[in-house]
Structure 1
Amino acid sequence: MATARCCRRPSSSALQSVFATTSAQHATLPSFLVPALASHPQTSAFSTTSQCRSKIGRAPLSLPPEVKFTITQSAASGRSGGISRTQPGSVVNIEGPKGTLSVAIPPYMSVLGDDATGIRTLSILDAEDRKQREMWGTVRAYLQNHILGVSEGHTAILRLVGVGYRATIESTAVTKQPEYPGQKFVSLKVGYSHPIELGVPKGITASTPQPTRILLEGIEKQVVKQFAAEIREWRKPEPYKGKGIFVNDETIRLKAKKIK
């Protein structure tokens, strides 16, 4: 014959004594968290390491001897007090043997350095402001890319992998009109019933050292990479036969063939 078990709940005075002891141990915690910690007394934090922030913004900018780095200060605003994010900042002009580029920096940033050493550093007003920290590394990356662009230039090499895939550079196009005088066009034969014609943006030089290679050169990195991405969109690399248009050292892992 089974005997009935009797479960008796602890009295309110016993619970109060337990909570009082726990509250004394965790006096700095809110009262509503004490019962949860009483059941899990050995709970530890997920991570004890401090937050690691990016150091890109404070990295120095090294200027080659043939590059000129000038800063044009913006006109002072009539407002008094703090600096607004909508207020126009300074403009940095970078001139080199390949060309000239300019970058507008926010008003809470300043460029420090001297012409003797050829080293520039970028600083912000408030290192605790999240927006300023985010733009700190971004603006510094833009400046470094422009310095490299006007001195050496940026390139992108596209590889056409596939049977019958070819590319040529034409001075005229059938399906498009030139956007500026002397514009060239990249003509692609990548498996469509008609050739694909893409206008070369201004400031970029396109050439085909081989029928299956396209070389893009320019001083602005963003424009070069964007045009390379537009060409790649017409035949993205596929993972079964490895065919497509590859940019620079891009690779793709092949999958096993589907067997029905």
Structure 2
Amino acid sequence: MLAPSTGRQVLQRALQRALASTPSSTVTLPGFLVPAFQTAAQSASRRPFSATTHRPSKLGRTPLSVPPGVDLAIGDLFVRKDMTSYLRTYKRKITVTGPLGTLDLEIPDYVTIDHDAAARRVELGVKDRDQRNQREMWGTTWSYLNNYIMGVSEGHTAVLRLVGIGYRATVEPRPALEEYPGQQFVCLKLGFSHPVEMGLPKGMRASAPQPTRVLLEGIDKEQIMQFAAHIRRWRVPEPYKGKGIFVNDETIKLKQKKIK
């Protein structure tokens, strides 16, 4: 059932019909009907909310500067097979090469890239800004490409802080457990009955400038932060004593002790 109209709505519609059928020179309204007519006119001239246009991505429309010594190679479209769907997904590979290494980034086909080698700048765009998924990947692709350019030119770091009595960290080799030659292992003493040993992924370096500090270095920011999250999982910071493993500038708000 349709909801019944209110008295004001019925009055506004009647006024609009009466004004439409009466010449403008003979229109006279009683004083008590003027506010209702003004409300109807304002609501008719108001623009609906759905008529607003989509704003472009603030990050995606910002040009990226390519530092000296870094080269970008944009490949052709290829089909990426998705094991969870029968649809064919088209991708394009961007190879970022710098003094510290090489990284490959796969972007969707609807993300356009304009590389000006002479000016050393890159601009990203999408084919249809009205599509929500394309607008979402616009800024995401910009962020990934920016991290890759910074990684191969300057590198990324992550600092782990061990807070707790007896918490210690060292970086030592473990030849019997190596997955590749020269692999480093982060050895942690976190109050367990055994030390925790975690091997670094290939392409990463680690050092322990202090017994309670671990410095991770590499060109892939996602890989570094993922490995830092694996280490943090052993001792997640707790809010009562403030003990745990903190990543970079992470802080925690302490709580009052529970009193029964």
Aligning the two structures, in what range does the TM-score lie when normalised by the shorter sequence?
0.7 to 0.9
> Secondary structure, in 3 states, of the residue corresponding to 1:102?
strand
Equivalent pair of 1:173/1:197 in contact (CA under 8 Å): no
Measured after TM superposition, the shift of residue 215 of structure 1 is 0.3
Within the candidate set 54, 62, 65, 1:59 is matched to 62
CA–CA separation in structure 2 for the residues paired with 1:225 and 1:159 = 14
**Alignment CA distance shift 1:257-1:123 (3 Å):** same
The equivalent residue for 2:71 is 68
Could you tell which deviates more after superposition, 181-190 or 221-230? 181-190
Could you tell which deviates more after superposition, 206-215 or 86-95? 86-95
The equivalent residue for 2:156 is 154
**Alignment CA distance shift 1:25-1:58 (3 Å):** farther
The equivalent residue for 1:183 is 183
Q: How many residues align?
A: 223
More helix per residue: 1 or 2? 2
> Secondary structure, in 3 states, of the residue corresponding to 2:162?
strand
CA–CA separation in structure 2 for the residues paired with 1:156 and 1:26 = 67
What is the TM-score of this pair, normalised by structure 2? 0.76
Within the candidate set 123, 127, 131, 1:129 is matched to 131
Equivalent pair of 2:163/2:243 in contact (CA under 8 Å): yes
Measured after TM superposition, the shift of residue 21 of structure 1 is 2.6
Within the candidate set 9, 21, 32, 2:11 is matched to 21
Q: What 5-or-longer segments of structure 2 have no aligned partner?
A: 18-35, 80-86
Within the candidate set 130, 143, 146, 1:144 is matched to 146
The equivalent residue for 1:220 is 220
CA–CA separation in structure 1 for the residues paired with 2:156 and 2:16 = 59
The equivalent residue for 1:196 is 196
The equivalent residue for 1:167 is 169
Q: What 5-or-longer segments of structure 1 have no aligned partner?
A: 1-14, 28-37, 77-84
The equivalent residue for 1:230 is 230
C-alpha RMSD of the superposition: 3.1
CA–CA separation in structure 1 for the residues paired with 2:6 and 2:161 = 74
Instruction: Flag as ranges the 4+ runs of structure 1 deviating above 3 A.
Output: 15-20, 22-27, 47-54
Measured after TM superposition, the shift of residue 253 of structure 1 is 1.4
> Which amino acid in the other structure matches residue 209 of structure 2?
P
**Alignment CA distance shift 1:214-1:26 (3 Å):** farther
Residues 68-107 of structure 1: pairs in structure 2 closer than 5 A:
68-74=71-77, 86-107=88-109
CA–CA separation in structure 2 for the residues paired with 1:259 and 1:70 = 62
> Secondary structure, in 3 states, of the residue corresponding to 2:141?
helix
Please list the CA deviations of residues 96-139 of structure 1 after superposition, one character each: whole Å capped at 9, or x if unmatched.
11100011111112211311211110111111111111111111
> Secondary structure, in 3 states, of the residue corresponding to 1:170?
strand
CA–CA separation in structure 2 for the residues paired with 1:153 and 1:17 = 69
Equivalent pair of 1:56/1:137 in contact (CA under 8 Å): yes
**Alignment CA distance shift 1:127-1:163 (3 Å):** same
CA–CA separation in structure 1 for the residues paired with 2:223 and 2:14 = 63
> Which amino acid in the other structure matches residue 252 of structure 1?
I
> Secondary structure, in 3 states, of the residue corresponding to 1:89?
strand
Within the candidate set 117, 121, 124, 1:115 is matched to 117
CA–CA separation in structure 2 for the residues paired with 1:16 and 1:72 = 63
CA–CA separation in structure 2 for the residues paired with 1:90 and 1:18 = 59
Measured after TM superposition, the shift of residue 180 of structure 1 is 2.2
**Alignment CA distance shift 1:17-1:143 (3 Å):** closer
CA–CA separation in structure 2 for the residues paired with 1:94 and 1:161 = 38
